[in-house]
Amino acid sequence: MDFNDTAEEAAYRAQVRAWLEANAPKTHYTGDPEGNGSSMEASRAWQAKKAAAGYAQITWPKEWGGQGGNPIQQVIFNAEEAKHPVPPNPFQIGLGMCVPTVATFADQATKDRFVGPALRGEEIWCQLFSEPSGGSDVAAARTKAVRASDGSGDWLISGQKVWTTGAQFSDFGIVVCRTNPDAPKHKGLTMFWLDMHDPGVEVKPIHQMSGGSGFNEVFFTDVRVKDSQRLGAIDDGWKVSLVTLMNERLAVGGASGAGWTEFMEAARSVPGLDGAPAIKDHALREKLADWYVQAEGLKHTRNRTMTALSRGQTPGPESSIGKIVSAVQMQELGNTALEMLDQFGIIDDPELAPLRAGFHSSLMFAPGLRIAGGTDEILKNIIAERVLGLPGDIRVDKDVAFKDMPTGR
C-alpha cells in the first residue's frame, strides 16, 4: 500500500486545486439538498462549467468530453471538490451508471446523441431497476415488455418500479424488463432506454422523513419503445444490468458528510451535563475511541482501493466494507451529535441550526445509505462469499422458470 500521491498525482491534485479555487462557488448553496427544484439551476451551471474544463467525467475518453484520465484522478478531483460548497449533483446516476451502459450497448448514433447533453447537465437520467418485488434481487423484476401486435417491432412496457432516484426530473431512464417468463429469472430479462416524458410513464414522488422526495414510484402503462432502444440482446438484460451495477460499485466515493471534524469541534465547545465541554464525558470518549478505530480501518481500506486504482487494477469485493462501516458510523455520529447539541440539535434549518444542520441531514440520510446500492446484509454476503470464501447464499430459484416462482405469477 502506498498512501502518498505519486509525483504525477500530486501535480494533478495541484492543477485541480487551482482550477477549483478559481471556479468553484464560494458560498454555501441554500437550495433544496435533494438536488431538485430550486437548486437545479445551480447544479446545471456547475456541471456545465466542469464539462467545459474536462472535469465532468475525468475517466471518459476525450471524444466523449472526458480527459481520458484514470480513476485515481477522478478520486482526487472528488476529494478536492468536496472541500468547496458546490451544489447537489443530480447527474451522478446518469453519468456513473446509465450513460456508460447506453454507451456500451447502443449504436454510435445513440451514443453521439446522449453523451454530450448528459455530460453538460442538460439532460438527466435515472436507473429503473428496483421494484416492489425485488430490490436486492434485481433479477426478480416483474415489469414486462412484450412486442406490439402491429408488426412494427416496437415493445410495450407495463409494470412498476420503485425507489427511482431523480425520476421526477429525469429526461431518460434505463429500465430492466421481463421478456421471457418461461426462462429462469436471470435469463428472461431485457434492458431498454426510454424517454421519461413518453405517454404511459407516470412518476409519483415518495415523501421522505427528511421532508424531501429524492426518489419515486414509476408506473408504466403500455409505454411504446422502439426495438432500437433495446440495450443488448433480447433476454440478455441481466448481463447488461451487471455492467450498470459494476459501474455503480466503481463510483468511488462512499459516504460523505459523516462530519468527523465538525463533531470534534462541537464536542470541544458544547457543554456536557456537568457544564464541562462534552469531550470530557467518559461515555462520549468511549464512543469517540470506537469511531476513531473504525475510521482508521476505513482509511486504510480506502487506501487499498486507491492503490489498486492507481495501479490500473479494479478494486475487489473488499471495497464493500467501506459502505457498511461508514453508513453505520454516519448514523451513530449524527445521533450522538444531535443529543450533544441538546435543543439546538432538533433544528432542521441550515440558516438557523448550528453546523448548518449538517448532522440532522446526515442522520436522516444514513438509513437510506445503508440500503441504497446494496443493503448491509447483501454487502456482508458479498464479503462472506467473495472475500472470506464462505459457502454461498442458498439460491433455490436459480434454475426455476420465472413464471413458476411464487413472485413470478
What does the radius of gyration of the chain's CA atoms come to, in whole angstroms?
Answer: 23
Cβ–Cβ under 8 Å, residues 225 and 205: no
Interface residue with ligand FAD among 160, 247, 375, 407 (CB under 6 A) is 375
Q: By CB under 6 A, is residue 136 in contact with ligand FAD?
A: yes
Q: By CB under 6 A, is residue 15 in contact with ligand FAD?
A: no
Kindly provide the b/e burial profile for residues 18-31, where b requires at least 16 CB atoms within 10 angstroms of the residue's own CB: ebbeeebeeeebeb
What are the cell numbers at 117?
Answer: 447533453
Q: Smallest distance, Å, CB 216 to ligand FAD? A: 9
Q: By CB under 6 A, is residue 125 in contact with ligand FAD?
A: no
Q: Looking at beta carbons only, is 51 or 167 nearer to ligand FAD?
A: 167
Q: Looking at beta carbons only, is 308 or 372 nearer to ligand FAD?
A: 372
Cβ–Cβ under 8 Å, residues 298 and 325: yes
- List C-alpha distances in Å: 263 to 128, 196, 227: 37, 41, 53
Helix (H, G, I), strand (E, B) or coil at 189: strand
Q: By CB under 6 A, is residue 291 in contact with ligand FAD?
A: no
Q: By CB under 6 A, is residue 91 in contact with ligand FAD?
A: no
Name the residue with cell 431497476. Answer: 129
Crossing angle for the helix pair 7-23 and 71-81, nearest 10 degrees?
40
Q: Smallest distance, Å, CB 399 to ligand FAD? A: 17
Binding mask 142-181 for ligand FAD (x = CB under 6 A): ---------------------xxx----------------
Closest by CA to 126, choosing from 176, 177, 165, is 165
Q: Smallest distance, Å, CB 339 to ligand FAD? A: 24
Q: Looking at beta carbons only, is 69 or 94 nearer to ligand FAD?
A: 94
Binding footprint of ligand FAD, residue count (CB under 6 A)? 20
User: What DSSP line would sit under 305-361, residue for residue?
Assistant: HHHHHHTTPPP-GGGHHHHHHHHHHHHHHHHHHHHHTGGGGG---TTTSGGGGHHHH
Q: Give the CA dihedral 114, 97, 256, 340, nearest 10 degrees.
A: 110
Q: By CB under 6 A, is residue 390 in contact with ligand FAD?
A: no
Q: Looking at beta carbons only, is 20 or 231 nearer to ligand FAD?
A: 231
Q: Smallest distance, Å, CB 380 to ligand FAD? A: 8
Interface residue with ligand FAD among 33, 372, 382, 397 (CB under 6 A) is 372
Q: Looking at beta carbons only, is 184 or 272 nearer to ligand FAD?
A: 184
What are the cell numbers at 54?
Answer: 474536462
Q: Looking at beta carbons only, is 200 or 368 nearer to ligand FAD?
A: 368
Which residues make up the interface to ligand FAD (CB under 6 A)? 93, 126-127, 129-130, 135-137, 163-165, 215, 368, 371-372, 375, 377-378, 381, 393
